[in-house]
Amino acid sequence: MTPMEGPFATMFQDVERELQSLSMASMLPRLVAAALIGALLSSRPWRLVMGKPLPKSDMVQAQILLCAAAAVITAVIGDSVAKAFGLVGLGGFVRFRSGLKDPRDAAILFLVIGLGMACGHGNLVLASVGTAFVMVLLLVLDLFEKKESPTAGAKQRLVLSAQSDDLVRAEATLRKALGERNVMVKSCALDFSSRRLELEVEEPEPGTLAAALGKTEGSSLRGLRWTAVSAKGAREEMA
């Protein structure tokens, strides 16, 4: 059974008649306005002047397409509630999945869809005013956006190992030295048979661990070494 013969046959016929009734002269300005609005709000060109990175190209393209799609859908639906529910039903067959790391991207998606709907309805004045307001709002938010520190996200996982005749005391000494440098101890393992201890730590900045271990000189620790742990769990000898 084809879609034209199924339960959506009436809706497809209504959509076809609606598209035929819409003239190119009336639709083209709406679609162009929707594409321009989507491009302007998604690319946020003022970030170049502020020295901040632009949004990712795939997100920019998605928002432009969504704004244009909203204009087309709104023009097709018009004032028909039946067609609106029909298009929602057809949308249930579509699976749109995208990893949005920044919650603001999701909010901008809703904004461009709303402005695209205004364009599709033919209310270009409302779309223009809404676009200007959203631009100012995004500009203000970008001005107050905190700059990431150059060392942000540079936390390094390491495995620290050493030998000692008194493992309990050695662990306490290491924990104290590491705590003074804000090096977080993730786990600890003591091997009393070989008199060896192993700590998994996370240093906030490169070189912090070495500075912390400098305070353990003169203690009963022997063979002090540490290895870096990659995201995949591989270890790389560092000292």
Domains in the chain: ranges and CATH: 3-143 (no CATH), 156-237 (3.30.2130.10)
CB 155 within 8 A of CB 209: no
Mean pLDDT of 89-117: 66
Please give the pLDDT value at position 82.
Answer: 57
| pLDDT tens column, 11-37 | 555 555 555 555 666 778 888 999 999
Please give the pLDDT value at position 86.
Answer: 52
Q: Rounded to whole angstroms, how far apart are CA atoms 199 and 179?
A: 13
Please give the pLDDT value at position 108.
Answer: 82
- The region of weakest confidence among 38-42, 86-90, 119-123, 190-194 is 86-90
Please give the pLDDT value at position 6.
Answer: 54
| pLDDT band for position 98 (cuts 50, 70, 90) | low
Chain mean position to CA 20: 41
Please give the pLDDT value at position 180.
Answer: 81
Please give the pLDDT value at position 133.
Answer: 93
- The region of weakest confidence among 38-42, 122-126, 154-158, 192-196 is 154-158
Structure token digits, residue 54: 């632009």
Q: Comparing 73 with 10, which gets the higher pLDDT?
A: 73
pLDDT at 173 over 80: yes
DSSP states along 13-76: HHHHHHHHHS-HHHHHHHHHHHHHHHHHHHH-THHHHTT-PPPPHHHHHHHHHHHHHHHHHHHH
Q: Under the phi-then-psi rule, with left for phi > 0, alpha for psi from -120 to 50, and beta for the rest, what region is 98?
A: beta
CB 127 within 8 A of CB 118: yes
